[in-house]
Homo-oligomer: A and B are copies of this chain.
Amino acid sequence: MTSGFHVAIAGATGAVGQEIMAVLQKRRFPVRELTLLASSRSTGREMRFGESTLTVKEMTPEAFTGVDIALFSAGGARSREFAGHAVAAGAVVVDNSSAFRMDPDVPLVVPEINPEAVKEHKGIIANPNCSTIAMVVPLFPLHKAFGVRRVVVSTYQAASGAGAAAMEELLEGTRAQLEGRDFTPTVFPYPYAFNLFPHDSPLDEDGYCEEEVKMVRETRKIMGDDSLRINATCIRVPVLRAHSEALNIEFSREVSPQEAYRVLQEAPGVKIFEERENNRWATPLDASGGDPVLVGRIRRDTSQPNTLDLWLVSDQLLKGAALNAVQIAELL
């Protein structure tokens, strides 16, 4: 532990924080020292990292002293409160919240797409929204090859996107229903067992929820093209940790499914996952625990020219959050 980086995880006890620790190890990130930070509620908790047992410390302005890279995953309010302190202490912040994503001074990075943007950072690099990451990983190579004009996307988002407590609420609410017990949800404003609902982030004046707006704006920023036209409907489904998305993609010219498959076969971070002859496609369980965005069911939209449908599934906690954050750190 004499060479490498002093890494801090802000929000270490959350669903993403725990995945970040696993990803750092799996990818053998050169960690010289690891500082685990969380709210005072979790202070003192012990967590394993490889051979070591680390004690979670309280996130304070001083906690970032000596830190080289601070991976934030503790919600937007914490990021806004503490990221500046981390930068002032000399750390580079990779922030998983939405706090800085649309800030023109903050690069918004998916390493497979715009790694060069990392260089522009002024202390903070933002990790995109999980639904956005899942979509842009296959969309960008298609855009480069054929020119995407418009995307209509419907999401099937897992509990993990709202954190460990949401996953627990899905499990506990389902258990209660199967046992005929009452259960009052506290994380979501809807019953979640065997149910689904539109994403509960705040609405804008057009009636889109924040999650949907993120998929539009962040995609444009990451792909560097403000002319991209995107329409999103974001739905939370009773699935634990992988997001699925149905994409209808209009290109600027006719594109055959075969051409699209050829591009995606070579695309970083993408795995074609299907057995067409067996009518077998990617599901959240197939994607859970894996790095690539699983893509398939590419078919010609017979309702208009130049348009393809595509199905994708991606582990929300990995590529949607922890993996992408660590990949950004690797670029530094």
Q: Which residues of A pack against B, CB within 8 Å? A: 150-152, 154, 156, 170-171, 174-175, 178, 189-191, 194-198, 200, 202-203, 206-209, 216, 229-231, 233, 235, 237-240, 244, 246, 248, 257, 276, 279-281, 283-285, 297-304, 307, 309, 311
Contacts and interface: CB of A to CB of B under 8 A. Distances in A.
A226 to B, nearest CB: 13
A229 B174 contact: no
B196 A150 contact: no
Contacts of A237: 156, 196, 237-238
A194 B298 contact: no
Contact of A231 (B276, B279, B284, B303): B303
A195 B239 contact: yes
> Interface majority SS on A: helix, strand, loop or mixed?
mixed
A154 B310 CA distance: 12
Given A150-B304, A171-B178, A285-B191, A233 B207 contact: no
Nearest to A167: B194
Most chain B CB within a 10 A radius of its CB, from A152, A237, A285: A152
Given A195-B284, A196-B156, A198-B281, A206 B246 contact: no
Given A196-B283, A237-B238, 20 more contacts: A150-B303, A152-B152, A154-B233, A170-B194, A174-B178, A189-B280, A191-B283, A194-B238, A195-B284, A198-B281, A202-B279, A206-B302, A207-B300, A216-B302, A230-B303, A231-B248, A231-B309, A233-B297, A235-B246, A238-B238
Contacts of A207: 257, 276, 297-300
Nearest to A170: B194
Contacts of A280: 189
A277 to B, nearest CB: 9
Contacts of A309: 231, 233
A237 B303 CA distance: 25
B281 A197 contact: yes
B297 A240 contact: no
Given A238-B238, A239-B238, A276-B207, A302 B233 contact: no
Contact of A208 (B175, B206, B299): B299
B283 A206 contact: no
Given A150-B303, A283-B190, A284-B195, A235 B297 contact: no
A287 to B, nearest CB: 10
Nearest to A299: B207
A209 B299 CA distance: 11
Given A231-B248, A233-B246, A240 B194 contact: yes
Nearest to A190: B283
B174 A302 contact: no
Q: Which 5 residue pairs across A and B have the least CB separation, nearest first? A: A207-B299, A154-B154, A229-B303, A233-B246, A231-B303
12 contacts: A171-B178, A191-B283, A191-B285, A194-B240, A194-B284, A196-B239, A207-B276, A209-B279, A231-B303, A233-B246, A233-B248, A233-B297
A299 B209 CA distance: 11
